[in-house]
Amino acid sequence: MLLVTRVILKDVTKRFGKVIAVDRVSLQVNHSELFTLLGPSGCGKTTTLRVIAGFELPDEGKVFFDDEDVTFKKPYERGCAMVFQNYALWPHMSVFDNVAYGLKLRGLPSNEVKRRVMEVLRLVGLEGLENRYPLQLSGGQQQRVALARALVVEPKVLLLDEPLSNLDAKLRLRMREEVKKLQKDLKITTIYVTHDQEEAMSLSDRIAVMNGGKVLQIGPPMEVYMHPKNLFVATFIGRSTLLRGIIKKVEGDKAVVSVSRDLELVGRFSQDIKLKEGEEAVAIMRPEDFFLDGTNSSNVIEGFVELTMFLGPFTQLRVKVGSQTIKAYVDPDVGVKSGTKIRLYIRPENVIIFPLTGWEEVEFEAIA
């Protein structure tokens, strides 16, 4: 039986010189939840994790494990186990000694140490490799040793710092499933750091999207995907494409955006955002939400296909719409050719409208 713990961060701020790495972050990770800190590199997610692990002291704010204030606790007093991005396996110790290290520290008798090490190695699928040394293992095996070493001590909290980023694409997908299954079986409170939004969505119970040291939105993957609170979240999560325009009409949480003289899009405001008529706006769409042609007369975008790329399940089109370009995924069977004219329909509920402010920040990622 593992002890499961809530982790609470209250207004945590961490500066490195003049750079604010973590900016007043408050969040709560619940019992046996898999909670992900997601964001681009430099967004403060790893620093936040290191504050939780006790490697960094926040300049302001507090960290709690359940009701206990652990802000000033040393790393070795916290009882959380971390899997490092580079695994941090000790090269001078065998797999067995690496995994047994934490148990030996806890003064367990040697037969108990052996039993538990073997048990956890079986759990991660490494039985028979206990006498190997880390350098004799493949990347995936090293990753499992790191995971086993963290799990074997039955930590109150499991911290995973981009654990899959050093694996090749295929192995990454397999390990992703295994991590999720292990976490569900062991019901261990887990904080997972990644920059890969797909990984975050597939694994997490809840996601905190971070940028510039701030937490922008916390919620279950579906909610963050469907109802992004701001432009950054909308463009960072999932693939997106966008068109700029001016608000023409507002009806409740719906609005019409005038993109050009002959293109108007009906969409919805995201959450508590409200814009007035005449204000500049950005309409965010998912490339997979477009339909070819359609019988509808409204929400149809006409444009020239500039480029087609076959990506397997679909073909990606780059479509020139007036002076702007959008990205759309279509069924490859249709056989759209570049240079041709095209009509794309999108449902109003799939067009999310944001104010233009902050556009420059996300422009690059949105178009990429």
Partner 1 sequence: MELRSAFRNFSFRAIRFYLDATMIVQILFPTLMFLLFLILPLASVLYIATQYSPLEVISDPMYVSFIPHGELVEIRSNLIFRGKEITLIKLRGVSFGAILNSLICASIVTICASTIGVLIAFIMARYDFPGKTFFRVLATVPLLMTPFINAFVIKKLFDWRDGLISWFICDVLGIPLRIGVSEIAGVVVAQTMTFFPIVYLNVFSSMVNIDPSLEEQAENLGAKGFHLFRTITLPLSLPGLAAGAAIVFIFSLEDVAAPIVFNEKRFMSYQILSKFIEATTGRLSPVAATLAVILLALALTAFAGIKRYVTLRQYAMLSRGGRWSIRVRRPGIKGLIAIYISLLPLFLLAFPQFGVFIYAFCEKWTGPLPEGFTIDHVAKIVIDPLVSRAIVNSLTYSLSALILIVLMGISASYVIARAKLAGVELLDLLVTSPIALPGLVIAVGYFYFFTTMFKGTLLDPIASGPSFLLILAYSVRRLPFTARAVFAGLQQIHIALEEASLNLGASRLRTIRSIVIPLIGINIVSGALISFVYCMSEVSTSITLGGLGGLGELHQAPITLIMMDYLSRVEGPYVVASLGVLLMSIQLAVITLTNVILKQRYAYIGV
| Binding site residues, partner 1, CB under 8 A | 53-55, 57, 59, 72, 74-76, 78-82, 84-86, 88-92, 101-102, 105-106, 149-150, 153
Closest to partner 1 by CB, 143 vs 217, is 143
Closest to partner 1 by CB, 43 vs 80, is 80
Closest to partner 1 by CB, 80 vs 282, is 80
Beta bridge partners of 264: 258
Two structure tokens written together for 189: 């409170």
Give least dist CB 90 to partner 1, A: 6
Closest to partner 1 by CB, 105 vs 307, is 105
DSSP tag of 280: E
Q: What is the DSSP string of 230-278?
A: SHHHHHHSS--EEEEEEEEEEETTEEEEEEETTEEEEEEE-TT----TT
Closest to partner 1 by CB, 150 vs 305, is 150
Give least dist CB 36 to partner 1, A: 20
Give least dist CB 91 to partner 1, A: 7
Give least dist CB 75 to partner 1, A: 4
* Count of residues in the chain: 368
Give least dist CB 76 to partner 1, A: 5
Q: Is 360 helix (H, G, I), strand (E, B) or coil?
A: helix
Q: How many secondary structure helices (H) and strands (E) does the chain include? A: 9, 20
Rounded CA gap, 271 and 315, in Å? 31
Under 8 Å between Cβ of 235 and 365: yes
